[in-house]
Amino acid sequence: MTHDLAQLVRDAAAGTGARQVRAAGRLMSMIEDDPTRLPALVVAARPYLASSPLPLGEGREGGCKEPPRLPRIVLGITGAPGSGKSTLTDALLGEYRRRFPQRKIGVVAVDPSSPFTGGAVLGDRVRMMRHTTDPMIFVRSMASRGHLGGLALGVRGVIQILALIGCDLVILETVGVGQSEVEVAGIADLTAIIFAPGQGDSIQLLKAGLMEIGDLFVINKADRPGAAELHRQLLSVLKLGVIEEHCGAHHGIGLPQAASRGLPDSVGETAASPELGLMRSRPMPDVQLVSAAEHTGIASLLDLLEKKTDDHHEDWAQRRDESMFRDIRDSILEAARQRLERTLGRNGTAHGQVARVLAGDLSIEELADDLLRRTAGAPHANAGLAPGRTSNSSSKTEVM
């Protein structure tokens, strides 16, 4: 199997059968192992995405004239361990395939790495194995690994590769707790937060983090006791948020019934404003009650997702460009930080300077200036950073 990025991109885009799947899998490993190659991947993939015919015989009726650069929707599915994310993903896969037999679906399932050993057990696939031999479904498991910003770039790369093989829908499944997880949730066009009854009281709903990244809330395991109670609590917490942030002015307030039925009405319509990153710009999110295991509520959840996709996919495309830009910028800053850090490390040229700062001989600002000067002319270790310079520039970590 080749390790040439351009060749693999060609095989993933134009190859068929096992050759295409292998190329896609291998490309994903390359990006996962060295996320700084994302720009090279994007550049190599561009001609195929721009010129390839629409992968759909049906669906996508009359809608878009331009071939999409990425899937129509990247759906984030996030929630605590055990809330049923993978089972819900499995149910959505089944429903989507039944409804749109011509459309390809990609799944990216992120599970945490051990901060102690770096190891991971990635178990999301277990729930989706019945789809494994379906050529229209590609599932990739990813460990969160430890690197700051690296996961976000890696996930973007994997989504780009899923686009190359023609995926129309991508489901991005994450635990959604912790900084890198929240970063990853930012990649999705729409993030669904999954809850299940019996996982803590309403205080959990007030905690920071999870609730703030949701565009859509799904209560899973509706067949279990406590689901109705959780539904009520969730609605009241969400309404509180809306009241605070809109000072009661938003027309969605006072319409909890509409929201509780998950109607794709005007209440949720502005959910894809470009400032979606900010909680305060949000209207009342939709809340759906489902049972993935018993397959109830799945069809109406998909109806809602389709409606939102039809309404917003053009805004999303633009927002993806902006957030990609942000992630690239963050990784440039991270690369710069690592270089600076090396000069302060045990073998670094400025290692001794920290003691001088402590002794009062040098200010923090002066040392920072000094570090920037020291690193300015130094050749960098990781040449893979240079966009457009592909295969041979980053020779590391291609051991497989």
24 scored as a contact of another protein (CB under 8 A)? yes
- Between the CA of residue 294 and those of 221, 224, 291, what are the distances in Å? 8, 11, 5
Q: How far is the CB of 28 from another protein (least distance, A)?
A: 6
CA–CA separation, 381 and 323 (whole Å)? 27
- With the C-alpha atoms ordered 214, 97, 38, 2, is the resulting torsion angle positive or negative? positive
122 scored as a contact of another protein (CB under 8 A)? yes
Among 10, 26, 85, 339, binds another protein (CB under 8 A): 26
381 scored as a contact of another protein (CB under 8 A)? no
CA–CA separation, 80 and 181 (whole Å)? 12
Among 129, 333, 354, 355, binds another protein (CB under 8 A): 129
Considering the complex, state which of residue 22 and residue 250 has its C-beta at the smaller distance from another protein.
22
CA–CA separation, 165 and 17 (whole Å)? 11
Considering the complex, state which of residue 232 and residue 396 has its C-beta at the smaller distance from another protein.
396
Q: How far is the CB of 93 from another protein (least distance, A)?
A: 14
Q: H-helix or E-strand containing 294?
A: none
Q: How far is the CB of 122 from another protein (least distance, A)?
A: 5
Q: Which range binds another protein by CB under 8 A, 128-136, 194-202, 217-225, 254-262?
A: 128-136
Considering the complex, state which of residue 24 and residue 41 has its C-beta at the smaller distance from another protein.
24
Cβ pair 220, 88 in contact under 8 A: yes
Considering the complex, state which of residue 100 and residue 138 has its C-beta at the smaller distance from another protein.
138
Buried b (16+ CB within 10 A) or exposed e, 229-248: ebbebbbeebbebbbebbee
53 scored as a contact of another protein (CB under 8 A)? no
- Between the CA of residue 48 and those of 6, 10, 24, what are the distances in Å? 11, 8, 14
Q: Which range binds another protein by CB under 8 A, 21-29, 199-207, 320-328, 371-379?
A: 21-29
Cβ pair 331, 35 in contact under 8 A: yes
* # binding residues, another protein (CB under 8 A): 39
- Between the CA of residue 83 and those of 7, 78, 294, what are the distances in Å? 40, 9, 14
Query: Which residues, numbered 147-176, are part of the site for another protein (CB under 8 A)?
Result: 147-148, 150
179 scored as a contact of another protein (CB under 8 A)? no
19 scored as a contact of another protein (CB under 8 A)? yes
Considering the complex, state which of residue 33 and residue 95 has its C-beta at the smaller distance from another protein.
33
Report long-range pairs for 387-393 (Cβ below 8 Å, ≥24 apart). Answer: 387/39, 387/40, 387/43, 388/39, 388/40, 388/43, 389/40, 390/5, 390/6, 390/37, 390/40, 390/43, 390/44, 391/3, 391/4, 391/5, 391/6
Site string for another protein, 73-92 (x = CB under 8 A): --------------------
CA–CA separation, 218 and 46 (whole Å)? 35
- The token duo for 210 is 């999870």
CA–CA separation, 156 and 154 (whole Å)? 5
- With the C-alpha atoms ordered 93, 296, 269, 253, is the resulting torsion angle positive or negative? negative
16 scored as a contact of another protein (CB under 8 A)? no
25 scored as a contact of another protein (CB under 8 A)? yes
Site string for another protein, 323-342 (x = CB under 8 A): ---------------x----
121 scored as a contact of another protein (CB under 8 A)? yes
Among 47, 63, 67, 123, binds another protein (CB under 8 A): 123
Considering the complex, state which of residue 137 and residue 238 has its C-beta at the smaller distance from another protein.
137
Considering the complex, state which of residue 8 and residue 182 has its C-beta at the smaller distance from another protein.
8
- The token duo for 266 is 């005007």
Considering the complex, state which of residue 21 and residue 350 has its C-beta at the smaller distance from another protein.
21
Q: Interface residues with another protein (CB under 8 A)?
A: 1, 18-19, 21-22, 24-26, 28-29, 33, 113-114, 117-123, 125-126, 129, 132-133, 138-141, 143, 145-148, 150, 338, 397, 399-400
